[in-house]
Amino acid sequence: MSRPYVIDQMISAKEIAARIEALSKEIRKTFPAGERLVVVGLLRGSFIFIADLVRELQDREVEVDFLEASSYGNAMESSREVRILKDLRGEIGGRNVLVVEDIVDTGYTLSHVVALLKSREPKQLKTIALLDKPSRREVDFRADWIGFEIPDEFVVGYGIDYAQSNRNLPYIGKVRFTD
Ligand code: PRP
Ligand code: MN
Ligand code: MG
Protein backbone atom coordinates (compact mmCIF):
# COMPACT_ATOMS: atom_id res chain seq x y z
CA MET A 1 0.00 0.00 0.00
CA SER A 2 2.50 2.67 1.10
CA ARG A 3 5.35 3.58 -1.21
CA PRO A 4 8.93 3.24 0.05
CA TYR A 5 10.63 6.55 0.85
CA VAL A 6 13.54 8.18 2.62
CA ILE A 7 13.64 11.55 4.40
CA ASP A 8 16.27 14.14 3.50
CA GLN A 9 16.88 16.89 6.05
CA MET A 10 15.80 20.31 4.78
CA ILE A 11 15.85 22.59 7.86
CA SER A 12 17.90 21.59 10.92
CA ALA A 13 16.70 21.74 14.53
CA LYS A 14 19.29 24.46 15.13
CA GLU A 15 18.03 26.61 12.26
CA ILE A 16 14.46 26.23 13.52
CA ALA A 17 15.44 27.26 17.05
CA ALA A 18 17.27 30.37 15.79
CA ARG A 19 14.30 31.39 13.66
CA ILE A 20 11.85 30.95 16.54
CA GLU A 21 14.02 33.14 18.75
CA ALA A 22 13.95 35.89 16.10
CA LEU A 23 10.20 35.54 15.57
CA SER A 24 9.50 35.76 19.30
CA LYS A 25 11.14 39.20 19.32
CA GLU A 26 8.70 40.36 16.61
CA ILE A 27 5.77 38.90 18.53
CA ARG A 28 6.89 40.71 21.68
CA LYS A 29 6.91 44.03 19.79
CA THR A 30 3.36 43.50 18.53
CA PHE A 31 1.57 42.41 21.70
CA PRO A 32 1.59 44.68 24.79
CA ALA A 33 3.80 43.37 27.60
CA GLY A 34 1.23 43.87 30.35
CA GLU A 35 -1.59 41.96 28.65
CA ARG A 36 -2.19 38.25 28.60
CA LEU A 37 -1.63 36.55 25.24
CA VAL A 38 -3.76 33.58 24.21
CA VAL A 39 -1.60 31.32 22.06
CA VAL A 40 -3.75 28.96 20.00
CA GLY A 41 -2.17 25.88 18.46
CA LEU A 42 -3.83 24.08 15.56
CA LEU A 43 -3.77 20.36 16.26
CA ARG A 44 -2.10 18.23 15.47
CA GLY A 45 0.67 19.67 13.32
CA SER A 46 1.56 22.69 15.48
CA PHE A 47 2.21 20.86 18.75
CA ILE A 48 6.00 21.02 18.65
CA PHE A 49 6.19 24.54 17.20
CA ILE A 50 3.83 25.95 19.84
CA ALA A 51 5.77 24.20 22.62
CA ASP A 52 9.04 25.82 21.50
CA LEU A 53 7.43 29.19 20.73
CA VAL A 54 5.72 29.69 24.11
CA ARG A 55 8.96 28.89 25.90
CA GLU A 56 10.59 31.76 23.97
CA LEU A 57 7.82 33.94 25.45
CA GLN A 58 8.48 32.89 29.03
CA ASP A 59 8.68 36.54 30.14
CA ARG A 60 5.04 37.05 29.06
CA GLU A 61 1.74 35.99 30.55
CA VAL A 62 0.62 33.31 28.13
CA GLU A 63 -2.49 31.16 28.00
CA VAL A 64 -2.29 28.08 25.78
CA ASP A 65 -5.32 26.72 23.96
CA PHE A 66 -5.86 24.33 21.07
CA LEU A 67 -8.22 23.94 18.17
CA GLU A 68 -8.34 21.03 15.78
CA ALA A 69 -9.17 21.62 12.16
CA SER A 70 -8.51 18.90 9.67
CA SER A 71 -8.59 18.99 5.91
CA TYR A 72 -6.10 16.32 4.92
CA GLY A 73 -6.84 13.34 7.16
CA ASN A 74 -4.46 10.67 5.89
CA ALA A 75 -4.50 11.89 2.32
CA MET A 76 -1.71 13.81 0.57
CA GLU A 77 -4.20 16.17 -1.09
CA SER A 78 -6.25 18.86 0.66
CA SER A 79 -9.96 18.10 0.76
CA ARG A 80 -10.58 21.89 0.65
CA GLU A 81 -13.25 21.27 3.24
CA VAL A 82 -12.12 22.37 6.67
CA ARG A 83 -13.77 20.62 9.58
CA ILE A 84 -13.55 21.84 13.18
CA LEU A 85 -12.97 18.67 15.15
CA LYS A 86 -12.20 20.35 18.46
CA ASP A 87 -12.93 23.95 19.42
CA LEU A 88 -11.10 26.20 21.88
CA ARG A 89 -11.70 25.67 25.59
CA GLY A 90 -11.45 29.38 26.40
CA GLU A 91 -13.14 32.59 25.29
CA ILE A 92 -11.14 34.95 23.06
CA GLY A 93 -13.51 37.95 22.80
CA GLY A 94 -11.60 41.18 23.59
CA ARG A 95 -8.31 39.34 24.04
CA ASN A 96 -4.92 39.20 22.30
CA VAL A 97 -4.68 36.02 20.25
CA LEU A 98 -1.82 34.40 18.36
CA VAL A 99 -2.74 31.46 16.13
CA VAL A 100 0.12 29.03 15.61
CA GLU A 101 0.28 26.73 12.59
CA ASP A 102 2.94 24.41 11.25
CA ILE A 103 2.44 25.00 7.53
CA VAL A 104 0.32 26.99 5.09
CA ASP A 105 -0.22 25.07 1.88
CA THR A 106 -3.45 25.78 -0.06
CA GLY A 107 -4.37 28.22 2.74
CA TYR A 108 -7.81 26.69 3.38
CA THR A 109 -7.12 25.59 6.97
CA LEU A 110 -5.68 28.80 8.38
CA SER A 111 -8.00 31.16 6.46
CA HIS A 112 -11.03 29.20 7.69
CA VAL A 113 -9.80 29.21 11.30
CA VAL A 114 -8.96 32.93 11.19
CA ALA A 115 -12.46 33.78 9.89
CA LEU A 116 -14.02 31.68 12.63
CA LEU A 117 -11.92 33.20 15.43
CA LYS A 118 -12.31 36.78 14.16
CA SER A 119 -16.10 36.35 14.39
CA ARG A 120 -15.56 36.06 18.16
CA GLU A 121 -14.15 39.60 18.14
CA PRO A 122 -10.72 39.29 19.72
CA LYS A 123 -8.91 42.54 20.54
CA GLN A 124 -6.09 41.54 18.23
CA LEU A 125 -5.56 38.35 16.24
CA LYS A 126 -2.27 37.47 14.54
CA THR A 127 -1.08 34.32 12.83
CA ILE A 128 2.28 32.60 12.69
CA ALA A 129 3.24 29.64 10.52
CA LEU A 130 6.58 27.88 10.68
CA LEU A 131 6.47 27.00 6.99
CA ASP A 132 4.85 28.58 3.97
CA LYS A 133 4.45 27.07 0.51
CA PRO A 134 3.19 30.09 -1.48
CA SER A 135 3.33 28.21 -4.79
CA ARG A 136 0.51 25.95 -3.58
CA ARG A 137 -1.88 28.69 -2.47
CA GLU A 138 -5.51 28.41 -3.59
CA VAL A 139 -7.03 31.09 -1.37
CA ASP A 140 -5.67 34.59 -0.80
CA PHE A 141 -4.08 34.25 2.60
CA ARG A 142 -0.80 35.16 4.22
CA ALA A 143 0.25 34.58 7.82
CA ASP A 144 1.52 37.63 9.73
CA TRP A 145 4.79 35.84 10.50
CA ILE A 146 6.46 33.00 8.64
CA GLY A 147 9.43 30.94 9.72
CA PHE A 148 10.58 29.67 6.35
CA GLU A 149 9.25 29.93 2.84
CA ILE A 150 9.74 26.58 1.12
CA PRO A 151 9.33 25.15 -2.38
CA ASP A 152 6.59 22.64 -3.19
CA GLU A 153 8.17 19.62 -1.49
CA PHE A 154 6.39 17.04 0.65
CA VAL A 155 7.75 17.89 4.09
CA VAL A 156 7.59 16.06 7.41
CA GLY A 157 8.92 16.38 10.94
CA TYR A 158 8.76 18.96 13.74
CA GLY A 159 5.04 18.15 14.08
CA ILE A 160 4.25 17.54 10.42
CA ASP A 161 3.14 14.08 9.37
CA TYR A 162 3.02 11.85 6.38
CA ALA A 163 0.14 9.40 7.01
CA GLN A 164 0.40 10.17 10.76
CA SER A 165 4.08 9.25 10.90
CA ASN A 166 7.29 11.29 11.28
CA ARG A 167 5.81 14.06 13.47
CA ASN A 168 8.47 13.30 16.09
CA LEU A 169 11.50 14.21 13.97
CA PRO A 170 13.27 17.23 15.52
CA TYR A 171 14.00 18.74 12.08
CA ILE A 172 12.07 19.43 8.86
CA GLY A 173 12.77 16.87 6.17
CA LYS A 174 11.49 16.20 2.71
CA VAL A 175 10.04 12.92 1.62
CA ARG A 176 11.81 11.30 -1.32
CA PHE A 177 10.12 8.26 -2.79
CA THR A 178 12.55 5.52 -3.74
CA ASP A 179 10.41 3.35 -6.00
C1 PRP B 1 -2.04 20.07 7.60
C2 PRP B 1 -1.11 21.12 8.21
C3 PRP B 1 -1.93 22.37 8.17
C4 PRP B 1 -2.77 22.21 6.91
C5 PRP B 1 -2.17 23.03 5.80
O6 PRP B 1 -2.95 19.64 8.60
O7 PRP B 1 -0.78 20.78 9.54
O8 PRP B 1 -2.80 22.44 9.28
O9 PRP B 1 -2.73 20.80 6.59
O10 PRP B 1 -2.84 22.80 4.59
P11 PRP B 1 -3.77 23.84 3.82
O12 PRP B 1 -3.09 25.18 3.85
O13 PRP B 1 -3.80 23.26 2.43
O14 PRP B 1 -5.11 23.84 4.46
P15 PRP B 1 -3.81 18.29 8.51
O16 PRP B 1 -5.16 18.60 7.99
O17 PRP B 1 -3.01 17.26 7.75
O18 PRP B 1 -3.99 17.85 10.02
P19 PRP B 1 -2.79 17.59 11.09
O20 PRP B 1 -2.27 18.94 11.50
O21 PRP B 1 -3.47 16.89 12.20
O22 PRP B 1 -1.75 16.75 10.41
MN1 MN C 1 -2.58 20.77 10.60
MG1 MG D 1 -1.62 16.14 8.43
pLDDT in tens, 74-116: 666 677 788 899 999 999 999 999 999 999 999 999 999 999 9
**Best probe residue, ligand 1, of 42, 68, 71 (max atoms within 8 Å of C-beta):** 71
Would residue 171 count as lying in a domain? no
Confidence (pLDDT) at 112: 95
Would residue 2 count as lying in a domain? no
Chain centre distance of CA 127 = 9
- Taking CA atoms only, the protein residue closest to ligand 1 atom 21 is 44
Would residue 32 count as lying in a domain? yes
Would residue 159 count as lying in a domain? no
**Best probe residue, ligand 1, of 109, 139, 175 (max atoms within 8 Å of C-beta):** 109
- Indicate whether 134 pLDDT > 80: yes
**Distance of alpha carbon 169 from alpha carbon 36, whole angstroms:** 31
Would residue 28 count as lying in a domain? yes
Would residue 5 count as lying in a domain? no
Note down the domain range covering 87: 14-152
Reported ipTM: 0.97
What does the pLDDT average to over 115-139? Answer: 98
Would residue 103 count as lying in a domain? yes
- AA identity, residue 29: K
> Cα–Cα–Cα angle for 12, 106, 151, nearest 5°?
40
Would residue 157 count as lying in a domain? no
CATH number at residue 44: 3.40.50.2020
Number of domains in the chain: 1
